[in-house]
Amino acid sequence: MTDTAVAVLPPATDPGPPGRGGKVRAALPGLAVAGAATAAAMGLGAAVPAASPLLTAILLGVVCAQLLPTTGRLAPGLSVASRSVLRIGVALLGLQLALGDVLGLGAGALLVVVAAVTIGIGATWVLGGWLGVPPVRRFLIACGFSICGAAAVAAAGPTAGAKQEDTAAAVALVVVFGSLMIPLGPLIAAGAGLTGEQTGIFLGAGIHEVAQVVAAGGLAGGGVLAVAVLVKLARVLLLAPVMTGAALVIRRRTGSAAGPRPAPVPGFVLGFIACVAIASIGLLPGAAITGAGFVQTAALTAAMFALGTGVRPAALRGIGIRPVLLAAASTLVVGGVALAGAALLG
C-alpha cells in the first residue's frame, strides 16, 4: 500500500533504534502476530477446504483490531505485511499461470475474460461517477470486482494512492458480494441451462476471488472446477496490464505536481510478469512451483490479515450506501457479461 496505508505510530517513550536493523526489529512484533494469524488461517483452510485462508485472515484481522493496539508496537510490522509482503504474494501468483494453459482455453473463452475485465472496470468507473463514489474508492472496487478480488484491491492501492480505509472498504465489499456468488453462481448456471464447460467459464469470469471461484466450482460439480479456475487465472493475468496502464495514466495526470507518483511499471508487476514467464517455459520443477504456491498463499494471507486490522466498526459504518450500490452493480455487470459470453459459446 502507500505510506499512508497503515498508520505507523511508534511508542512515544521509545522511538526505536535507528538504521535498517532498527527498522527490522521494530517490524518484528507486528510480523509475528501476522505470522501467527497466517498459520491459524491456513491451518483452518487445510482442515476445512471450504474455509479460504485469505477470507479467514481478513476476519481475524478485524477481530484483532478490536483487541490489540494495532496502531502501537504492531503497526510497523503490519505495514510491512500490507505492502511488501503483499507485493511478494501478488508477484508469486504469476507462477500459477503458464501461458500455454491459458491459451488452451480457446479464443472464445479468452474473449469472455477480456470482456468481463474491461467492461467491468469501465462500467464500474462510470456508474461510480454517477453515484458520486470518490475516484480512488471507485478504482479499487472496479479492479477488485473485475480482476481478482482482494488481491487486486490491495495491488491497486499503491497505484491509486489509496488510504487504509479505502482499501479496507473495498476488500469488505469483495468479501460480501463474492461470497454471495458462491451459492448463486451454480444456481444461475443451472437455471440458464449451461453445460459444464460453460458453467466453468461463467463462474471463472464472473466471481471475484480465486477462492470463491474454487468454492462455487466445487458446488457445481463435474468438470466445472478445473475450467473455472483456469478462466479465473486468465483474469488474474490481466492484473499486470491494468496496473501498468493505470500507473501511466496517473503519472500523466499528476504531471509535475508535488508528491510521489507511481512508477511507470510497478515493481511487483514486473515480478508477476517474470513469474509468468518462468512458469510458461518450465524453468522450475513441479515441487518448486508447489512450494512457491504455499509461500504465495502465506504472503497474501498475512497481507489480508494486516488489511483486516484496518477494518473497524466505525470505518465499516462509514462505507455508505453509494459504494455498496456500486459493488452490487459491478457484480451484476461482471456476472452478466460472463453469463452472456458463456452462453454464446454453447
- State the average pLDDT for the chain: 81
| Residue-wise pLDDT tens digits, 114-154 | 999 999 999 999 999 999 999 989 999 999 999 988 778 87
Domain range for residue 230?
Answer: 33-344
Contact 304, 171 (CB under 8 A): yes
Q: Taking the mean position of all CA atoms in its chain, how far away is CA 314?
A: 23
Q: DSSP class of residue 93?
A: G
**What nine digits make up the cell of 89?**
504474494
- Please say if the pLDDT value at position 3 is more than 60: no
Residue 24 lies in a domain: no
**What nine digits make up the cell of 238?**
490481466
Residue 50 lies in a domain: yes
- Please say if the pLDDT value at position 201 is more than 70: yes
| Residue-wise pLDDT tens digits, 247-262 | 777 767 655 444 455 5
Give the C-alpha separation, 74 to 189, whole Å.
Answer: 45
The mean pLDDT of 28-33, rounded to a whole number, is 88
Give the C-alpha separation, 248 to 256, whole Å.
Answer: 14
- Please say if the pLDDT value at position 315 is more than 70: no
| Residue-wise pLDDT tens digits, 92-119 | 877 877 888 778 888 999 999 999 999 9
| Residue-wise pLDDT tens digits, 317-328 | 667 899 999 999
Residue 38 lies in a domain: yes
Residue 92 lies in a domain: yes
| CA neighbor of 69 nearest in space, from 112, 111, 116, 11 | 11
Q: Total domain count for the chain?
A: 1
Residue holding cell 451484476? 332
Residue 14 lies in a domain: no
Grade residue 340 by pLDDT with cuts at 50, 70 and 90.
very high
pLDDT at residue 157, rounded to an integer: 80
| pTM score of the predicted model | 0.69
Residue holding cell 507485493? 87
Residue 86 lies in a domain: yes
CA angle 324, 136, 258 (to 5 degrees): 160
- Please say if the pLDDT value at position 212 is more than 90: no
Residue 94 lies in a domain: yes
pLDDT at residue 255, rounded to an integer: 55
**What nine digits make up the cell of 76?**
510497523
159 versus 202: which is more confidently predicted?
202
Give the C-alpha separation, 150 to 146, whole Å.
Answer: 11
| Residue-wise pLDDT tens digits, 279-298 | 888 888 888 888 988 998 89
Give the C-alpha separation, 253 to 135, whole Å.
Answer: 13
Residue 26 lies in a domain: no
Contact 131, 325 (CB under 8 A): yes
The mean pLDDT of 13-23, rounded to a whole number, is 54
